[in-house]
Amino acid sequence: MTDGAASKASAVRVTAGVQARFSSRTGDRLLAGVAAALVIGLCLLPMLRLLMEAVLPGTDGSWPLASLASAGVWKAGINTLVSSFAATAISALLGGSLALLIGLTDIRCKGVLTLFCLSPLLIPSQITALAWIKMLDSGSPVRSALELMFGTWSGHPLYGAGGVSWVMGLEHAPLIFLSLAAAIRTLPCDLIEAARSAGAHHRRLLITIILPLLKPALLAGGALAFVSSIGNFGVPALLGIPGRFTVLTTLIYQRLSGFGPSILGETAALGLILALLAGMGLVWQRWVLARAPALRSSGPMGPVLPLGRVRPAIEIAVWLVLLFLTVMPLAALLGAALVPAIGVPLDWQTATLENFTYVLTDYQPTRRAFLNSTLLSAAAAIVTAGLGLVLAYYGELRRWYWMRVLDAIADAPYAVPGIVLAIAEILVFLRPLPLIGVSLYGTAWILLIAYIARFLTLALRPLAAALRQMDPMLEEAARLAGAAGPRRLVSIVVPTVRASIVSGALLVFLTAFNELTVSALLWSRGHETLGVMVFSLQSEGAAGAAAAVASLTVVVTLTLAALATLFARRLPKGTLPWMP
Amino acid sequence: MKSMFAAVAALALSAGMAQAASGTLTVYTSTPDQAMNDLIAAFNKAEPDVKVEFFRSGTTEVVNKLQAEFTAGAPQPDVLFIADATVMEQLKADDRLMPYADAPVAGLPETFYDSDKTYFGTKIIPTGIIYNTKSGKPRPTSWGDLTSPNAKDQVIMPSPLYSGAAVIHVGTITAQPEMGWNYYQLLADNGAVATKGNGGVLEAVASGQKAYGMIVDFMAFNGKAKGSPVEFVYPLDGVSMVTEPVAILKTAKNVEAAKSFVNWLLSDAGQHYMTVQGYIPGKAGIAGPEGRPAAADLKLMPASTKDIAGESNEIKKHFADLFGG
Amino acid sequence: MDAVTIKSVSKHFSGKPAVANVDLEVAAGEFVALLGPSGCGKTTLLRLLAGFEKLDTGTISIGAREIARAGRSAVPPEERGVGMVFQSHALWPHMTVGENVEYALKIRKVSPAERQRQVDRALSTVGLAERKDAAPETLSGGQRQRVALARCLAMEPSVVLMDEPLASLDVHLRESMQAEFHRLHRQLGATIVYVTHDQSEAMALADRVAVLDHGRLQQVAPPRALYAEPATAMVADFVGRGMVVSLDAAVAGRAGSVEGRLWGEPIHLRSARSGTASMRACLRPEGLALGQSGIAAKVERAVFEGAATILHCRVDRAPDVLLRVLDRAAPPAEGSAVRISVNDGWLLPAASVISAAA
């Protein structure tokens, strides 16, 4: 290039740079502003309202916080912590070992195995709990076999702390599985190769190199599992109540059953304890993650730990464990749906489809509920993924302080029990909105708002982790090319973290699809959801119909998964978590 | 807008004009969905111009939704139609219910409705014993049978901590001099367990997990009709009862329609429909469902709903001490 | 230290050959550089040596021990006793510098006291003894690479493999690290296989350089021979910025010399003493000079390089050819007509690809 042309080109570049900076700032501020407004409106406001209820004296003059100083609350709190830690440990063991097996070894049929590992997400937790109760009923083959080994039990072995921890552990294992699986995919292979050159065989490689590198992901998944456990209501309701084991969520429900003007304040106070516990867990997790070194991933890695001769034995063991843990509850579900009434044994003569025909034709809300749940869950998945992306982008990559604060706020609505969040949403959104003058209460919108508030953290966590790991130079190069913030987000960041976006959205979809406790207070005629429908049918004694709806839910979810798999060929590898 | 409508309605009433009710009626209820839909269809035969919208959930959910609406300052429903009277007593004490002095209570026992006419029972739902016919255990005849060695670790019941109807049941039984809290102590020693609601009891007993349970009668009969191996027993010493009361809220928007709804429920036609739905009607002279005792023949354990409602916290605490919670 | 023998080794990736039929012998204690442009297969060959890729054909032996043979299961990397220094240094972030270096010793069950001794020794060899307890992220790029080297040396490997270890360092650091490698090679007598795309680095460090292109070995020779007597056009071009031109005519003179004609001008070239020669010559800028007679050309550009100027001259008789001439005097202006005389050149041998001069 001659000197004249060079200087002209650089002048153009400078102008473009200045222009880009101005529009970049506006675009950034607009995008970040919208995201911040959404988080404040949907997540912070309800929490503040709860705080208000908890702290200010009630209409009868009582101080809600004083109600916390009772032995019952203390005991329930300890029970919550104990069962949640135990459940998290079980989830870590199960979800973690499966993630390691699938991600690091040469075990076969990885796609199908992954699908099985994720199946607890498909089934509502009360169904799983019920199925386990049935499976270990006195007289059942499994129970008899176990009793031969360990001696007879009086009462039901799952009633109480052990059963609650076990079933919650199973239910939340996919959260740890997903977190670890994503991290394993992005392990830097040169660190592993260096260890192998130094002479490390598989066991040492796993223990001294791979596991320490995976610690942050394990903690992230573990924190999520822990928070899910302390806010879990379905399992302690079914297994804890008969076992005289009360946790904070069932205690809250007890309070709510008491009615009276002071109840709201007391409930809010209890709900905030849960939020506090969750918050402590999440803060600790953040602290650990901040000190962990950021790893730059270096491309896909082949199986690092070939199983060799033990492979068939391990495969059989894994399949057996998965079949026992996932297929058995599904089979119990289907069995309950195919009998005309509870207690009628299932055989060729008694099997009937009348429950299915009832829910599909006679019972009108069913089709509406399917449609509503699908649309609401899909909308929630898309919005939380987008919102999470923006929050994570400005928080982790651009390191804007206030966005990181908002990120922390997003955790709270997930930590409080669903019914408490629903109450908070009602308090905030019952009255018509200030400028628009329309109330969202009684519409599908309040359900969507509640879902977004509750599940934002599920989409945000993996995205924040992925963006922390992204090479900042990718974005810097785009900056120099003149791209403004929002444009960089769309053209550079999104393609890089595609897999985390999809897996976060999927998690939100599956969790929202079966959601019960939040929807129970917020649904209205025409806006029924599946989780509420199953719950209502069950509490009315129509267990067969409830099982039929739950079975159909599983079928629909699997169909959607199959469709997504068909489309996966157009997407890059790793977008769908069960397609390695 | 709201107050204007109420004023017009009041004016019309006071002018003595007979006006067919119309418009939208919003009901919050704990009646099962299908049953509610059928009830509304039957109601619409008498009042075709009233469009009924309802929200249905467990009593706890319904009442908490209502409470949240009260706190936010904009309660939605006109009518409350839920399982037990403890809630109604509380709402009455909070001055949320509208007294309906002209309600057609002729033929209903006095214990059935509030003395100030703020809420009215609509049917008799006794709580008795359900047992699994395939369990090999003997058929129970009285409450005491649940404390026998045969029933060890085999009894399940709804917990008053979570269910207002169960509060009434526990309150009724403990009010009987020959039973009192000692009865529940014996149950606890015999390994009885509590569960969240009647649905859980039905499932546990029908599936054979437990041989005996305390449950409301209609649920047991529904289960039996579908084919579950269960039978219901009205114990010889008597039953407790909930009446599924209906009440009009002070903040009701369509008072005319609300009153017409209450009128219908308490009328012969409405009470007859209770029978059709499988409940024992409260009104004298209306035949009950087949295979069930008539209202007059039911041995009801005497109890004061108002007293029980007032003691509900103590009842719950005592229960929690015995059964955990 | 052991010798490395690579025989008839090939490796394909999805049908495309990355390494094609390579034979190479590295003597014990020798420093061999694998040189070539990106994608030439040098890194693949190194990874085959390390055991991270599987052979499709051929065998690899270290010392007397055969460690890989096509069709049979190879000795895994953790059992080869081969040390490797990665381009990204690959220090484990959750361990301190000292822990990184002693890792291999721990595996070999060396006693803690002995381990500390060896770690201290390795770290002082690279001059980082005082950073033993530091975390890797607190070190600079050059320091990290030295720790990686110490880690490799501590395990006393039979062969040391290096994968472009200096590629991400700045020029000064690169030079001092090169001096480091040189010193270590002399001191320890290590067998080193060193991958690089930088030909000056290869020539500065190696005893012999193996040039690869598209998976095939082009030439293996000591740096001087590579520079002065390239075996193929690719080597001529890649090493030392040679220019390959086609002669009009060539006649062999005394052994090792050739008289030729280039664009009408007579020139004198060196050639191989035996074997057939081609009609193509390799010319280097320092072998050309401006003079009164010679090839007619026009100066297109003069590039100032400090010690000398490189003149890019377009040949009159062959307008698509650009000759680079090294000139130490004040350069002529752009556009001026000059005459280029050829003082030194090399006649490339005929088509055979590999010439493994020992």
CB contact under 8 A, A343 and B61: no
Residue B226 sits in the same domain as residue B215: yes
pLDDT digits (tens, 9 = 90+) for A458-489: 898 878 878 887 777 777 777 777 777 888 88
Closest Cβ–Cβ partner in A250, A344, A423 for B68: A423
The conformation of residue A489, written as its DSSP 8-state character, comes to: I
Q: Name the domain boundary from C229, C247, C262.
A: C229
Check residues A339 and B13 and name the one with the higher pLDDT. Answer: A339
A207-246 pLDDT tens trace: 998 898 888 888 888 988 998 898 888 889 888 888 889 9
pLDDT at B113 over 60: yes
Q: What is the pLDDT of residue A580?
A: 53
In the chain, the amino acid numbered C210 is A
* Residues in B touching A427 (Cβ below 8 Å): 68, 71-72
**pLDDT higher than 50, residue B71:** yes
Q: Are residues C72 and C86 in the same domain?
A: yes
Last residue of a domain, one of C171, C206, C229: C229
pTM for the full predicted model: 0.78
- Output the pLDDT for position A294: 64
Q: Which of A104-118, A128-142, A215-229, C250-264 has the lowest mean pLDDT?
A: A128-142
| Residue B316 belongs to domain with CATH number | 3.40.190.10
Q: What is the pLDDT of residue A24?
A: 58
Distance from CA of A59 to the nearest CA of B (A): 10
Find the CB nearest A198 among C52, C93, C104.
C104
Q: Do A190 and C88 touch (CB under 8 A)?
A: yes
Answer yes or no: do B164 and B45 share one domain: no
Strands B23-29 and C257-262: unpaired
pLDDT at A113: 86
Pick B86 or C25 by higher pLDDT: C25
How many CB atoms lie under 10 A from the CB of residue A81?
A: 17
| Nearest C-alpha neighbor of C126 from the set C180, C202, C200 | C180
Report the candidate in C270, C248, C246, C278 with the shortest Cα–Cα distance to residue C351: C278
Reported as a pLDDT band with limits 50, 70 and 90, residue B305 is confident
Q: Are residues C17 and C97 in the same domain?
A: yes
- Asked if C211 and C330 sit in the same domain, the reply is no
Query: Domain total for chain C?
Result: 2
Query: What is the percentage of chain A residues whose pLDDT exceeds 70?
Result: 90
CATH number at residue C303: 2.40.50.140
Instruction: Flag whether pLDDT at A283 surpasses 60.
Output: yes
Determine contact, residues A419/A516, Cβ cutoff 8 Å: no
Contacts of residue A352, Cβ cutoff 8 Å, sequence gap at least 6: A338, A339, A340
Residues on chain C touching A297 (C-beta within 8 angstroms):
none
pLDDT at A101 over 60: yes
- A90 neighbors A170 (Cβ within 8 angstroms): yes
The tens digit of pLDDT for each residue in B212-254 reads 999 999 889 988 988 889 999 999 989 998 989 999 999 999 9
Check contact B-C (3+ Cβ pairs < 8 Å): no
- Whether C354 maps to a domain, the answer reads no
Same domain assignment for residues C212 and C267:
no
Q: In C14-103, which ranges are E strands?
A: 16-26, 31-35, 57-62, 65-69, 82-85
Same domain (yes/no): B13, B57: yes
CATH number at residue C93: 3.40.50.300
- Which helix or strand (DSSP H or E) is residue A381 part of? helix A365-392
- Amino acid in the structure at residue C222: P
- The pLDDT tens digits along chain C (358 residues) read 789 999 999 999 888 889 999 999 999 999 999 999 988 899 999 999 988 888 999 999 998 899 999 888 888 888 888 888 888 888 888 889 999 998 888 888 889 999 999 999 999 888 899 999 999 889 988 899 889 989 988 888 889 999 998 887 888 888 888 888 888 888 888 899 999 999 889 999 999 999 999 999 999 999 999 999 999 999 998 988 889 999 888 888 777 888 888 888 888 889 888 778 888 899 999 989 998 888 899 999 999 988 889 999 999 988 888 899 988 888 888 889 999 999 889 989 887 544 444 3
If asked whether residues B153 and B282 sit together in one domain, one would say no
Looking at residue A139, its pLDDT comes to 63
Q: Residue A55 pLDDT > 50, yes or no?
A: yes
> How distant is the Cα of B270 from the closest Cα of chain A, in angstroms?
22
In a domain? residue C356 = no
Q: Evaluate whether A191 touches A152 at the Cβ level (below 8 Å).
A: no
C202 and C259 share a domain?
Answer: no
> Confidence class of residue A546 from pLDDT cuts 50, 70 and 90?
confident
Question: Residues B228, B247: one domain?
Answer: no
The Cα–Cα gap between A426 and A519 comes to 12
Q: Which of the residue ranges A142-151, B213-222, B273-282, C64-73 would you say has the lowest mean pLDDT?
A: A142-151
Task: Give domain status of residue C297, yes or no.
Answer: yes
Tell me: do B237 and B247 sit in the same domain: no
Shared domain check, B284 and B214: no
Contact by Cβ (8 Å): A575, A506: no
Please report, rounded to a whole number, the percentage of residues in chain B having pLDDT higher than 70: 94
pLDDT digits (tens, 9 = 90+) for B43-60: 999 889 999 998 888 787
Tell me: do C186 and C272 sit in the same domain.
Answer: no
Query: Can you give the residue range of the structural domain that contains B92?
Result: 2-123+243-295
Q: What residue ranges define each of the domains in chain A, with the CATH number in brackets? A: 83-295 (1.10.3720.10), 339-580 (1.10.3720.10)
Any domain includes C22: yes
Are C267 and C204 members of one domain?
Answer: no
Query: Confidence band (pLDDT; 50, 70, 90) for A417?
Result: confident
pLDDT at B14 over 80: no
The whole-number pLDDT of residue A551 equals: 86
Q: Are residue B234 and residue B250 in the same domain, yes or no?
A: no
Q: What is the mean pLDDT of residues A300-323?
A: 83
**What local confidence, expressed as pLDDT, does residue A442 receive?**
77
- Which residues in chain A have Cβ-Cβ distances shorter than 8 Å to C51? 196
**Residue C357 placed within a domain:** no
CB-based contact A190 C90, cutoff 8 Å = yes
- Report the pLDDT averaged over residues B279-297: 84
Dist. CA A209–CA B262, nearest whole Å = 73
Q: Are B191 and B226 members of one domain? A: yes
Look up residue C317 and give its DSSP letter: S
Q: What angle separates helix A110-118 from helix A161-185, to the nearest 10 degrees?
A: 140
Can you list the alpha helix ranges (DSSP code H) found in A64-201? 71-104, 110-118, 125-135, 141-150, 161-185, 189-197
**Binning pLDDT at 50, 70 and 90, where does residue A111 land?**
confident
Band of the pLDDT at B209, cuts 50, 70, 90? confident
Same domain, B184 and B307: yes
* Domain count for chain B: 2
Picking from A342, A347, A368 by the largest number of B CB atoms within 10 A of its own CB, the best residue to mutate is A342
Q: What is the residue range of C326's domain? A: 234-349
Query: Is some CB atom of chain B closer than 8 A to the CB atom of A242?
Result: yes
**pLDDT at residue C240 in the model:** 83
Residues B288 and B185 in one domain: no
The beta strands (E) that lie in C114-264 are given as 159-163, 192-196, 208-213, 216-221, 243-246, 249-252, 257-262
> What are C125's two structure tokens?
């060899």
**A294 DSSP assignment:** P
CA distances from A544 to A42, A127, A339, B227, B262 (A): 37, 12, 7, 11, 33
Query: Would an 8 Å CB–CB cutoff place A260 in contact with chain B?
Result: yes
- Whether C254 is in a domain gets the answer yes
Final residue in a domain of this structure, among C189, C204, C229: C229
Distance CA A461, CA A177 (A): 14
> Are residue C193 and residue C46 in the same domain, yes or no?
yes
Q: Closest approach of chain A CAs to the CA of C265, in angstroms?
A: 34
Show which of residues 183-202 on chain B sit within 8 Å of chain A, judged by CB atoms. Answer: 191, 193-200, 202
Please, what is the angle between helix A161-185 and helix A498-513, to 10°?
A: 160
* Residue with more model confidence, B107 or C25: C25
A361 touches chain B (CB under 8 A): no
Q: Which chains touch A (3 or more CB pairs under 8 A)?
A: B, C
Statement to judge: residues C11 and C123 lie in one domain: yes
Based on the fold, state whether residues C27 and C154 are members of the same structural domain: yes
Report yes or no on C71 lying in a domain.
Answer: yes
Q: Please tell me whether residues B215 and B280 are part of one structural domain.
A: no
Beta bridge partners of C281: C245, C347
Q: Mark which residues 6-65 of A lie under 8 Å from B by CB.
A: 53
Answer yes or no: is the ipTM higher than 0.90.
no
Neighbouring-strand partners of residue C345: C283
**Of the candidates A406, A395, A462, the residue with the CA atom closest to the CA atom of residue A40:** A406
C224 and C265, same domain (yes or no): no
